[in-house]
Amino acid sequence: MDRRVRILYYNHTRKVSGGERMLLLMLTVLDRTSYEPLAACPLEGDGNLDELLRDAGVEIIPAPLLQARFTSNPLHLLRYLASIAATILAFRKTIRNAAPDLLHASSVRAGIVATLATVGTNMPVLWHVQDDLPAHLISTPIRLLAFFSRRTRLVAVSAATAKAFAGKLPFAERLRVLHNAVDRARFPRKASPLDPAAASFRTELELKAGDFLIATVGMINPRKGLVHLVEAFAEVAGLKPSAHLAIVGAPIFNNDALYEAQVHARSRELGLTNRVHFTGSRSDVPAILRAADLFVLNATIEPFGLVILEAMSSGTPVIATAVGGIPEIVENGVTGELVPSKNNEILSERIGRLIDKPRSRLADAAYESVLPRFSIEVFSANLHRIYASLNLGGGAA
């Protein structure tokens, strides 16, 4: 009997956000009769990814915690580069002991480490590109590393992200698109009247019957455009006394807490203390999306926008900015509303329009035409097609 192909999934952090959720989904759909998964991630620091991986039935290999962020501070940059170097040296031994057929790195940072830690070997490395590279002096070297390492292949979460990563380099078939998927069982469609969990969230916010709830969900950082969202909501709130805004999420990285303070301060300045609700990080996001009358994602940068699919699966209409991979999900005026980034006037106008007019048409169209394209079944088939194209040997080649 042919042996299973051994895949080592590497995540550079223990924190759980969108990329880590897709890693867990990959492990859920992976054909384990053909593939044997292992996972390397840190066992220290914030988060609980290692615990979730164990729950998924995957053997955990300890990996060093990588401290690396894009920064304009030269001292911080040197410290991050030193962390990358130390991580590469430590991870090289880990890879040698695990002896995988494929190293699947779940982020660009993980991909850098994986490729450099396997220099001098024939180990194939797959980078999962889940974020756009910023305009930074080290972005070009990162692209060149991926391009000139002939062992390296890449998958991006959207066509927009793939294009942004490639720049002018002809990656061709070495860079493919693997759209994220929504777990429709976890995000069931809302009922009328609302189920107890969804109704409980509205009660928690002390909303009255007939109040209109706008929700945004995600980590709090400048890329999410929350200051602009609060400002646009202020225009709506002056005309629509029943409107409320719930900001669901928490800062995760570096100085994001400073941005959160700015959002709070702007809300107070605009007199919205009783109309804008900051909930912090929540474990009941599916119920929150069912409780909302409208979901808004006002991002300035968004490689994909998984939470849009989750809102659509919940039966909640969507307004989102036309950036990154979002137009690959939302068809303007048909399955949702697309607005320009950083344009408070248009955003407030669209919110006000959807408060006044029936929204079921958008929600129904999204549910019926968008979700099938981003199903777990489609994701699984595409993932296995990509693995098969790598000719890894074993029973799945």
Domains 5-181+375-396 and 196-374 fall in the same CATH topology: yes
Q: What is the pLDDT of residues 105-137, one digit of tens each?
A: 999 989 998 999 999 999 999 999 999 887 777
- Indicate if the pLDDT at residue 379 is higher than 60: yes
* Average pLDDT value for residue range 36-45: 91
CATH superfamily entry for domain 196-374: Glycogen Phosphorylase B; (3.40.50.2000)
Rounded to whole angstroms, the Cα distance separating 285 from 314 reads 10
Please, are residues 19 and 108 in contact by the beta-carbon 8 Å criterion?
Answer: no
Predicted pLDDT at 133? 85
Distance CA 4, CA 366 (A): 39
pLDDT for 74 equals 62
Q: What homologous superfamily is domain 5-181+375-396 in, according to CATH?
A: Glycogen Phosphorylase B; (3.40.50.2000)
Q: Kindly report, residue by residue over 179-219, the tens digit of the pLDDT.
A: 999 999 999 999 999 999 999 999 999 999 999 999 999 99
User: How far apart (Å, rounded) are the C-alpha atoms in residues 315 and 291?
Assistant: 10
Radius of gyration of the chain (CA): 22
For residue 193, say if its preceding peptide bond is cis, omega within 30 degrees of 0: yes
pLDDT, position 360 = 85
Whether 64 contacts 91, CB under 8 Å: yes
Mean of the per-residue pLDDT values for the chain? 92
As to burial, measured by CB atoms within 10 angstroms (0-12 exposed, 13-18 middle, 19+ buried), residue 222 is middle
For residues 29-62, one letter each, b for 16 or more C-beta atoms within 10 angstroms of the residue's C-beta and e for the rest, the string is ebeeebbbbbbbbbeeeebebbebbeebebeebe
Note the helical H segments in the chain: 18-29, 49-55, 74-98, 108-117, 139-148, 159-166, 196-204, 226-239, 256-269, 285-291, 306-313, 344-356, 360-365, 376-389
Q: Is residue 361 over pLDDT 70?
A: yes
Q: Are 257 and 263 in contact (CB under 8 A)?
A: no
| pLDDT of the residue at 391 | 87
pLDDT in tens, 310-339: 999 999 999 999 999 999 999 999 999 999
* Nearest-angstrom CA–CA distance, 82 and 77: 9
Give me the residue spans of the domains in the chain: 5-181+375-396, 196-374
CA–CA distance, 193 with 87 (Å, rounded to integer): 53
Q: Is residue 247 predicted with pLDDT exceeding 80? A: yes
Q: Distance of CA 49 to CAs 82, 84, 284, 332, Å? A: 24, 20, 18, 36
**Digit-coded pLDDT (tens) for 251-300:** 987 689 999 999 999 999 999 999 999 999 999 999 999 999 999 999 99
Average pLDDT over residues 372-387: 97
Give the count of alpha carbons within 13 A of 320, CB side only: 32
Q: In this structure, what token pair is assigned to residue 209?
A: 């019957």
Token couple for 187: 């995000």
Q: What is the DSSP string of 230-257?
A: HHHHHHHHHH-TTEEEEEE----STTHH
In terms of phi and psi (left: phi > 0; alpha: psi -120 to 50; beta: otherwise), the region of 109 is alpha
Question: Span 62-66, mean pLDDT?
Answer: 80
Residue 277 tokens read as 């609700």
Asked whether the predicted pLDDT for residue 397 surpasses 50, the reply is no
Lowest mean pLDDT among 37-41, 60-64, 175-179, 380-384: 60-64
DSSP 275: T
Pairing assessment for the beta strands 102-105 and 243-248 based on DSSP bridges: unpaired
Q: Is the pLDDT of residue 170 over 50?
A: yes
Nearest 10 degrees: CA dihedral of 111, 115, 117, 119? 180
Tokens of 129: 């590109």
